[in-house]
Structure 1
Amino acid sequence: MDKEQFWQLVEAAKTEAQGDQQLQEQILIDHLAQLEPAQIVAFECRLRECLLEADHFNIIAAQKIIDGYVSDDTYLYFRCWLIGQGETVFTNALQNADSLASVMDEGYQDFEELLYVATKAFEQRTGKTDEDDTFPRSIASEQGLDYDFGSETKGEDWTENQLPKMLPKLWKKFGAA
């Protein structure tokens, strides 16, 4: 599955769900379950590539301003949310995290469920219910696509007092409370 196919699936589900994240998750599962198992695995690998690509200090800074805190889990789920917004929002945020100010509303941005869509689709497609080394998550990890361990956050670290100047639009919208 190439990047274009990956983003088409994500964006089609987002459009069809019209802001309902649970529906977006189900639509993705349904679409993926129609593909061959190898394509479902490829989706998981692309997802993990995007999670690793978005592992950047500027994205952490954006989440810190928006949510007021960052933890390992919330940072992962925030990056899932970012991917769930589609290629344009994702790419713009990686180029300039301050661009998120124009697409974000109040409230926590989280799409943890995106981490499990390939597994659920694989179970539906294959009828397997006990995860083994043929499941998408196992294969992706085997290929070194592990977003929990071993990846190095890109960019330059920051201190909280740098945030207003670093991401002024986000700071004005969320941080200047």
Structure 2
Amino acid sequence: MDTKEFWQLIEATKQAAAGNQARQEQLLIARLAEQEPDSIIDFECLMRQYVIEADDFRIMAAQKIIDGYVSDDPYLYFRCWLVAQGEAVFRAALQQADSLAQVVEEPYQDFEQLLYVATIAFSERTGKTAEDDTFPRALAAARGLDYGSGSVTKGEDWTDNQLPKLLPRLWKKFGG
């Protein structure tokens, strides 16, 4: 699976799910389970690559305004949600995080389940029930794709009093 196929899969499942995140999760698992194991591993690696790419202080500021707070797990799940919105929304947010004001309608956007779809699909495809070193998560981590505490947030940090000017559209919608 290459980046084009990754984004096509994300977009197709998002459209088919019509805003139902649980349905998008189910569709991703079903479509991935039809792929060869190497493609499922590629999906995991690409998903992690994009979650890491989204580790940016501007994205963190957006989540802070939208949710009112930021902590490790919700920030990770917010970035998963961002990936699951498709390439156009993802790229626009990385260019200008304030673009999320046009996308987010309510606080607490997260898609923690995106972290598990490749593992479930791989298990279904291979028949392996016990996760081992051949599973997508282990192989992606071995390739250095760690979205946890090992990643470094890009960009410039901010203080709470900078948020209204940093992301004015999001601040108007959620912060003020």
Q: After the TM superposition, which segments of 4 or more aligned residues of structure 1 sit over 2 Å from their partners?
A: none
The alignment of Structure 1 onto Structure 2 pairs a total of residues equal to: 176
Matches within 5 A, 1:24-103: 24-103=24-103
User: Counterpart in 2 of 1:5?
Assistant: 5
| Per-residue Cα deviation, 1:129-157 (whole angstroms, up to 9, x for no partner) | 10000000000000000000321100000
**Which amino acid in 1 is paired with 2:163?**
L
CA distance in structure 1 between the partners assigned to 2:164 and 2:128 by the alignment:
50
**SS of aligned partner of 1:133:** coil
| Per-residue Cα deviation, 1:2-48 (whole angstroms, up to 9, x for no partner) | 11110001010000000000000000000000000000000000000
Percent sequence identity is 68
TM-score by length of 2: 0.99
CA distance in structure 2 between the partners assigned to 1:23 and 1:96 by the alignment:
29
User: Counterpart in 2 of 1:108?
Assistant: 108
Residue range with higher mean Cα deviation, 41-50 or 143-152: 143-152
TM-score by length of 1: 0.99
**Which amino acid in 1 is paired with 2:42?**
A
CA distance in structure 1 between the partners assigned to 2:97 and 2:164 by the alignment:
13
Q: Where does the alignment leave 5 or more consecutive residues of structure 1 unmatched? A: none
| Per-residue Cα deviation, 1:82-140 (whole angstroms, up to 9, x for no partner) | 00100000000000000000011113101000000000000000000100000000000
User: Counterpart in 2 of 1:140?
Assistant: 140
User: Counterpart in 1 of 2:124?
Assistant: 124
CA RMSD of aligned residues (A): 0.5
CA distance in structure 2 between the partners assigned to 1:57 and 1:38 by the alignment:
33
| Per-residue Cα deviation, 1:40-76 (whole angstroms, up to 9, x for no partner) | 0000000000011000000000000000001100000
